[in-house]
Structure 1
C-alpha cells in the first residue's frame, strides 16, 4: 500500500510539472492552476529552503529590471504586454520552493521529457498521415498560439511542422537521458527535436552524445551525421539563418543608443524586424532579446548567475546538469527560451541539488 501511495504521489508530481511545461504560452489555460497546485502541495511547506544568497540574487535581479519596467510604463505599453516578460524574475522564489519541495530527480525530468517528446511525435505523425482530424487539431493549436505548425517543402518532400513553444526544452531531458544511458528516452527526445523541427537543438544534442564518455563513439558519429543530414536537408532554403542574420543587423542599430543599451527598451516594447518584415516584441535570439528589453546590467547579471550555476554543478559532480545547462544556453541562441517557465523550472531544480543551507555564511555552499 505504501508503494502504491508513493507511485501515485510521484505520478501526480510529474504530471503537474509536465502540464506546466506543456502549457507554455498559456494555450491550454491550465498553467496558473497547475502552478498554484504545485505551490500548495510542495512549495508552501518549503519556504525555509530559500537561502539568503538566493534571496539576495533575486532582489538584485528585481532591482536591475525595474528601470526597464519603468521605461515600458512611461512609453505607454499596456501591463498585459509587460507581464509575460517579467514572470520569471518576479516569481522565481515561488518556483524555487515549489521545485525544491517537490524533490524532483533525474528520473522525473526524463519522464517529463518522454511525455513531451511523445506529444510532438504524435502530432507530427497525425499530420504526416493526414488523418481525418489532423486539420481540426492543427487549427486548434494555431488558434491557441501553441507554436508553429506550418507545412514546408523540403529535400524529403512536403514536411509538416510540429513545433511547440516548449520544443527546445527537449534538449535538457535528452542530455540527462544520454548521460544516464536511457536509450529509449534519448532517441525519443532526439527524434522529437528533428520532427519539430529544431535543427540546431538536434545537432547540439548529437554533439553532446559524441563527447559523453559513456556512449559508444561510432554510434555518436553516426547519430551526428544523421542529424546533420536531416537538419540541413529539411528546407530547400535555409530561412532560419537568413532571418537571424537580419535580426543581428536590427539589434546592432537598436543598441547603438547608449542610454537604451544600459536600461533597455523595456519588456513588451516592439521594433521593426527586417527578418520578420513586421513589428515584433520578440525574436529567436534569447540573449539579444534580454539585452534589448532589460539592458546590459541585467543581461550581464543573468549570464553571470547562469554560468556560475553551470560551474558549481560541474564542481559538485552534477555533470549531466552542467552539460545540459550549457547545451540549453547554446540552443537558446536560436529560440527565445532562455527566460521562460520551462527553463526556470529546470534551473531551480539544478540549484536545489546543491542543498543550500537555510542559514549559511555567504557563499559557503561552494566549498
Structure 2
C-alpha cells in the first residue's frame, strides 16, 4: 500500500516475501474451487483482444502494455501466498492502521514544521507515485497533501475493522482519509459505518441522530466538509475532470466503434477532456478498463470481481462489504485492478468458497518442506 508505485523499493521486498510464502503454499493446496479456475481463465482470455491491439500499435511498447496486466497474472501467486502465509482479516486491519498512522504522522509533521518528518516526507515525495504538495480547499484553507497511490486501500481495511471490532483502527483510518485527503473514500467509510449500525437495530435510536449531527457539523465547519459540499453543488474541480474523462471515453468509441469490442489496448494514449491532454490512464477504473479492453472483457472482469458475493460460507458479511465499498470508491481513482486489489479479491475467493477456504494439506509435500508439521 505504501509503495504501490515501487519507487521506495518496498514493493520489491514485498514481492520477494509473497513468492517465498507462495512456494510454501504449494504444499498446502490440494484442490481449488472450479468456479475460481473457470472465471479466472475466461477473464484472462478476455484480455487477449485488448493486448493484441497494443502489440500491433507501434506507439505502444511491450513494457508499457504489460505493466497494466501484472496484477492479473499474479492472482495464482496470491492464491498460494494466502495459504502459505495464513493471512486473515486482522492482517488487513493491522496493515491499514500502520499505513494510516504514517499518513497522519506526515501530515502533522508538515503542519508543525517538524524537520525530521519533513525530511521523510521529501524522501517519499521524490520516489513515490502520489501527491505530497499542498491542496487549496474551497474554504480558502491551504493544507498539506499526503496522498499515496495506495491510499484508497484503506477502504478495505476500514470496512474489516468492524468485523474485528477494532474501532480505534477505524477512526485512525477515517482521520487519515480526511487528512490525505480523499473526499470520496471518507464518505464511503462513513456510509459503511451507517450501514453497520443501522443493521444492529438496538443501536439505531442512539447512533443515527449522533451520526447525522456530526456529519452536518463537519460539512459546514471544516475545510474538508466544505469541499464535500462542493462536489454536490458543482464547484468541485474533481467532478468536472471526471465528467471530462467519461465524455472522452465515449468520444473514442464514436470515432472507433470497433474499440468498443476490442478495446484500445493497455498502454495506449487517448485525448481526455478532463486533463486536456493525451493520457494512458484516467481516474475512473471502470471506464478506463472499458476503454483498454472493450465491453466483452469488461463483463468478464465484472463477473470475476463480484462472483465471491455468491459464496455461501457464513460470516462473510464484512468481507463482501469491503469488496462492494472498494468497487464504489474505484469510481474516483484507478485502483480497482491494482496489485493490492487483486490480492484482496483472491482472498475473498479463498474465504467465500468451502473447498478453497478449508486447507487440505498435501501431506507428502508438507513433510518435505516442514517435517515437524506432520505426525508419523
Q: Match for residue 186 of structure 1?
A: 170
Q: Which of these residues, 40, 49, 58, is aligned with residue 67 of structure 1?
A: 49
- Partner residue, 1:152: 135
In structure 2, the CA distance between the partners of 1:292 and 1:62, relative to structure 1 (3 Å rule), is same
CA 1:101/1:336 → structure 2, altered by over 3 Å: closer, same or farther?
Answer: same
Distance, in Å, in 1 between the alignment partners of 2:350 and 2:217 is 36
- Correspondence list, 1:1-367, <5 A: 21-41=1-21, 42-76=24-58, 77-133=60-116, 136-154=119-137, 155=139, 157-212=141-196, 213-214=199-200, 216-225=207-216, 228-229=219-220, 230=222, 231-234=224-227, 237-256=235-254, 257-312=256-311, 316-357=314-355
Q: Take 1:26 and 1:227, find their aligned partners in 2: how far apart are those partners?
A: 36
Cα 1:279/1:137, change in 2 over 3 Å: farther
RCO higher in 1 or 2 (8 Å CA, sep ≥ 6)?
2
Q: CA deviation at 1:351?
A: 1.3
TM-score relative to the length of structure 2: 0.83
SS of match in other structure, 2:271: strand
1:203 shift after superposition: 0.6
Answer with 1 or 2: which has the greater Rg.
2
* Cα deviation code 1:251-306 (max 9, x no counterpart): 11012232101110001111122211222111110000010111111111111222
In 2, Cα distance between the equivalents of 1:49 and 1:97? 12
Q: What is the number of residues matched between the two proteins?
A: 338
TM-score by length of 1: 0.85
Alpha-carbon contact 2:155-2:322 (below 8 Å) kept: yes
Q: 5+ unaligned residues in a row in structure 1: which ranges? A: 1-20, 359-367
Q: 1:162: Cα distance to partner?
A: 0.6
Residue-by-residue CA offset, 1:313-365 (whole Å, 9 max, x unaligned): 7x63310111111111110000100000111111112111135426xxxxxxx
